[in-house]
Amino acid sequence: MRKLREKMTARKFSRFDLGLPCTLDPVARADYLLPAAPGLGQKEDGSDAFGQYLNGGTLPGDSLRFITAGYVVGDVAESDHIINAMLSRISKGDVADGGFATSIVDQYPGGGEFFSWDGKPCGYEGLLAHAYHFLQAVPLRDSNVRAKLHRPMLQN
């Protein structure tokens, strides 16, 4: 967790209200289905499209695991900072008003399931079934809730 946070700082990622980046390193062209795909850069190292879609774009829904992991390892203030920043967008409504996606878009790059690091939509679907999973981090702040949730997985 510490190394990931350090890398976010080194990469100058600070828009936690958008969620977390899916990668902190550019995705090389060779790792894409060519000849074209969302987030595909022209440079071989992918750096020219970094921060777009699956090439380092942020996605709110998948931020849940990182936020919850922070609570588990005791980084409460850091996890609270992220979830509170994300929660601040909820009351704004849809993407056009500074919120998260509330409708299907089906046109790249207008979908709000991914955001560039400067806050512009860079997805195509708009609304994913798991887009609001980050909200699960709110009750998972409580260690007793986490223990109850994980109890069935404990070995006897």
How do residues 109-152 score in pLDDT, each as one tens digit?
A: 999 999 999 999 999 888 888 889 999 999 999 999 999 998 88
pLDDT score recorded for residue 34: 84
Find the angle CA(67)-CA(68)-CA(71) to the nearest 5 degrees: 95
In whole numbers, what is the pLDDT of the chain averaged over residues?
93
Average pLDDT of the residues in 20-43: 93
Band of the pLDDT at 156, cuts 50, 70, 90?
low
Where b means 16+ CB within 10 Å and e means fewer, 21-59 reads bbeeebbebeebeeeeebbbbeeeebbebbbbbbbbbbb
pLDDT score recorded for residue 128: 84
**pTM of structure:** 0.89
How do residues 54-79 score in pLDDT, each as one tens digit?
A: 999 999 989 999 999 999 999 999 99
Domain layout of the chain by residue ranges:
2-149
3-state per-residue secondary structure call for 80-141: HHHHHHHHHHHCCCCHHHCCCCCCCCCCCCCEEEEECCCCCEEECCCCCCCCCHHHHHHHHC
Determine phi and psi for 138, rounding to 5 degrees: -60, -55
Band of the pLDDT at 154, cuts 50, 70, 90?
confident
Pull the structure tokens for residue 12.
């100058």
pLDDT of 155 > 80? The answer is no
3-state secondary structure of 58: strand
Pull the structure tokens for residue 83.
């979830």
Residue with tokens 């970094």: 50
